[in-house]
């Protein structure tokens, strides 16, 4: 399946097609499991935030190693802030980009203490004021640490949205805005989980399984490139 970098997007899915799309996903993809605890199973919002920062452009197993090493050194914003940036960088080395991430973690703790009295805020806008926390991390923290339903857009969700016509966006943040507007309320709590699983098992990055895809009758890329 060719990508669509140089061609204009076909029309977005209609509300009726979106309903159908989510209905099919709800019947074919696993949703959030009872056991899901969020990024690396962190037990509180502070640690969820730091685990999210560590996960950027890192494989799961490397993020897990870095997360474990970091929380061996300190587990609260104040104790974390007492560490040198270099000390943090050494601990989180397995996850890559460790110098940048170590600086962000240090700044994150400073801003969290100065502006929020050390308590992780429960709004997306406020979360995004914290160094190292972008839209995706903010949505993950809202969903997993605070139980607020959102649809975090990672690389899998972004790809599925842009291929199907569910929510076209040049950036993940734009796609996230559209997705939030277009997803019916009944689907919001599980949409993130369905879309990720769908992207990992059917709408694969390099070789999407279009002929056996349950939504190929709706997908705009499939209609445009295969059906003509
Ligand atoms: S038909 Fe299915 S697998 Fe193929 S691009 Fe569309 S959504 Fe992805």
| Domain endpoint, select from 146, 166, 199 | 146
Q: Count of residues for the chain?
A: 228
Has 136 been annotated as catalytic? yes
Q: Are residues 21 and 51 in the same domain?
A: no
Q: How far apart are CA 190 and CA 36, in angstroms?
A: 12
Has 93 been annotated as catalytic? no
User: How far apart are the CA of 203 and the centre of ligand 1, in A?
Assistant: 5
User: How far apart are the CA of 32 and the centre of ligand 1, in A?
Assistant: 22
Q: Are residues 74 and 131 in the same domain?
A: yes
Q: How many CB atoms lie within 10 A of CB 186?
A: 12
Q: Which of 24, 209, 214 to mutate to test the pocket of ligand 1 (most atoms within 8 A of CB)?
A: 209
C-alpha distances in angstroms, 119 versus 143, 148, 150? 17, 17, 21
Which residues, other chains included, contact 109 with Cβ-Cβ below 8 Å and sequence gap of 6+? 77, 78, 80, 81
Q: Are residues 191 and 139 in the same domain?
A: no
User: How far apart are the CA of 96 and the centre of ligand 1, in A?
Assistant: 32
What are the CB-based long-range contacts (under 8 Å, 24+) for 165-169?
165/9, 165/10, 165/11, 165/12, 165/13, 165/17, 165/219, 165/220, 165/221, 166/12, 166/13, 166/18, 166/21, 167/12, 168/9, 168/12
- Answer yes or no: is pLDDT of 207 > 60: yes
Nearest to 74 by CA among 61, 59, 60, 87: 87
With tokens 């601990």, the residue in question is: 91
| Domain endpoint, select from 114, 146, 178 | 146
**pLDDT number for residue 228:** 66
User: Which one from 40, 101, 136, 139 is the annotated catalytic residue?
Assistant: 136
Lowest mean pLDDT among 7-16, 33-42, 50-59: 33-42
User: How far apart are the CA of 10 and the centre of ligand 1, in A?
Assistant: 14
Q: Are residues 54 and 135 in the same domain?
A: yes
- Ligand 1 contact, 163 CB (< 6 A): yes
CATH number reported for the structural domain that contains residue 129 in this entry: 1.10.340.30
Q: Are residues 157 and 190 in the same domain?
A: yes
Nearest to 185 by CA among 14, 11, 22, 12: 22
Q: How far apart are CA 164 and CA 183, in angstroms?
A: 14
- Ligand 1 contact, 161 CB (< 6 A): no
- Answer yes or no: is pLDDT of 156 > 60: yes
Q: How far apart are CA 69 and CA 105, in angstroms?
A: 14
* Average pLDDT over every residue of 110-136: 97
Please give the full DSSP string across 70-109, using - where no structure is assigned: HHHH--SHHHHHTS-HHHHHHHTGGGS-HHHHHHHHHHHH
Q: How confident is the model at residue 3 (pLDDT cuts 50, 70, 90)?
A: very low
- Ligand 1 contact, 13 CB (< 6 A): no
**pLDDT number for residue 219:** 97
- Ligand 1 contact, 158 CB (< 6 A): no
Q: Is the dihedral of CA 84, 122, 182, 200 positive or negative?
A: positive
**pLDDT number for residue 33:** 65
Range of the domain at 54: 39-146
* Average pLDDT over every residue of 44-62: 92
- Ligand 1 contact, 162 CB (< 6 A): no
Q: How confident is the model at residue 36 (pLDDT cuts 50, 70, 90)?
A: low
Q: How confident is the model at residue 37 (pLDDT cuts 50, 70, 90)?
A: low
Query: Is 4 domain-assigned?
Result: no
- Ligand 1 contact, 203 CB (< 6 A): yes
Query: Is 10 domain-assigned?
Result: no
Query: Is 8 domain-assigned?
Result: no
**pLDDT number for residue 8:** 73
Percentage with pLDDT > 90 across the chain: 82
User: How far apart are the CA of 188 and the centre of ligand 1, in A?
Assistant: 21
**pLDDT number for residue 2:** 43
């Amino acid at each position: 399946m060719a990508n669509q970098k140089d061609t204009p997007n076909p029309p977005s899915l209609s509300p009726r097609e979106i309903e159908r799309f989510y209905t099919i996903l709800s019947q074919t993809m696993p949703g959030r499991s009872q056991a899901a605890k969020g990024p690396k199973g962190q037990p509180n919002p502070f640690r969820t935030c730091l685990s999210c920062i560590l996960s950027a452009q890192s494989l799961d197993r490397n993020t897990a190693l870095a997360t474990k090493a970091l929380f061996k050194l300190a587990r609260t914003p104040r104790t974390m802030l007492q560490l040198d940036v270099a000390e943090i960088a050494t601990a989180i080395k397995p996850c890559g980009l460790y110098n940048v991430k170590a600086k962000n973690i240090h700044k994150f703790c400073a801003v969290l203490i100065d502006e929020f009295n050390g308590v992780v805020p429960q709004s997306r806008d406020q979360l995004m004021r914290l160094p190292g926390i972008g839209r995706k991390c903010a949505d993950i923290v809202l969903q997993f640490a605070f139980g607020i339903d959102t649809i975090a857009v990672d690389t899998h969700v972004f790809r599925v949205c842009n291929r199907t016509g569910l929510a076209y966006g040049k950036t993940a943040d734009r796609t996230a805005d559209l997705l939030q507007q277009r997803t019916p309320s009944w689907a919001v709590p599980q949409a993130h989980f369905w879309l990720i699983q769908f992207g990992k098992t059917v709408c694969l990055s390099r070789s999407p399984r279009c002929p056996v895809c349950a939504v190929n009758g709706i997908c705009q890329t499939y209609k445009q490139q295969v059906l003509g």
